[in-house]
Amino acid sequence: MFAAVYPPEDVREELAEFLEARPGMRWTPPEQMHLTLAFMEAVPDRSVEPLADLLAEACAGTESFLCGLHGAGAFPHPDRPAVLWLGVEDGAEQLRGLARRVRNAANRAGATPDGKAFTPHLTLARPGRGTNATRWIRVLETFSSRLWEVPEVHLVESVLQGHGHRPRHQSVAVLPLGTAPS
């Protein structure tokens, strides 16, 4: 499972059109484009409801904010990319704060998130071994999305569908952002 922010459909479609004109990589389909706040590898069934409740509480205490995609990179390094991504400029600090709250809620629910440092990004592709991502990063850096309001967080179940197939993502809870207490 993971908790994520989904860009609006028009932003995902614009990005998909941008990527479609650039063959040579297996790009993330638009319906799966998201900004992961917390990845929880194994969430027992008994923990899903408490997790959703605690995430709802964390989200209700967070104001909605504007976000936009810009910048690009590769994890762990452009010479050895496991992931190509688009970054976030506008809204990056708010995403960091929201990710911190979401991860704390997940820990309290017993759904321990991975320990990776949070970097606001949208995964676009997982290049094969031996790929140098420098050229792709230069291309991806030319994309900038419009700003959009982040109104909610999704708790998503990722269902594996066999070797060579992308996992299927299904939102199990949609958690609206609220007004932060004054």
Q: Are residues 105 and 45 in contact, defined by beta-carbon separation less than 8 angstroms?
A: no
Binned at pLDDT 50, 70 and 90, residue 28 comes out as very high
Amino acid in position 110: G
Q: How many domains does the chain have?
A: 1
- Domain containing residue 73: CATH number: 3.90.1140.10
Residue 56 forms part of a structural domain: yes
Question: DSSP string spanning 10-52?
Answer: HHHHHHHHHHHTS-SS-PPPGGG--EEEEE-S---HHHHHHHH
Model pLDDT, residue 182: 39
Residue 48 forms part of a structural domain: yes
Model pLDDT, residue 95: 97
Average pLDDT in the 13-23 region? Answer: 93
Contacts of 102 (CB under 8 A, 6+ apart): 3, 37, 38, 55, 58, 59, 113, 153
Model pLDDT, residue 115: 87
Is 121 marked active-site?
yes
Say how many C-beta atoms besides its own lie within 10 A of residue 138's C-beta.
10
Contacts of 129 (CB under 8 A, 6+ apart): none
As a whole number of Å, the end-to-end CA separation of the chain is 32
130 against 108, higher pLDDT: 108
Given the residues 121, 154, 163, 165, select the one marked as catalytic.
Answer: 121
Contacts of 123 (CB under 8 A, 6+ apart): 28, 36, 83, 84, 85
Residue 139 forms part of a structural domain: yes
Residue 182 forms part of a structural domain: no
Q: pLDDT tens, 62-109?
A: 999 999 999 999 999 898 899 999 999 999 999 999 999 999 999 999
Contacts of 27 (CB under 8 A, 6+ apart): 16, 19, 20, 124, 125
Its domain, for residue 59, covers 2-176
User: Has residue 135 got a pLDDT over 80?
Assistant: yes
Q: Are residues 41 and 114 in contact, defined by beta-carbon separation less than 8 angstroms?
A: yes
Is 77 marked active-site?
no
φ/ψ (deg, to 5) at 74: -145, 140
Residue 181 forms part of a structural domain: no
Q: Are residues 157 and 172 in contact, defined by beta-carbon separation less than 8 angstroms?
A: yes
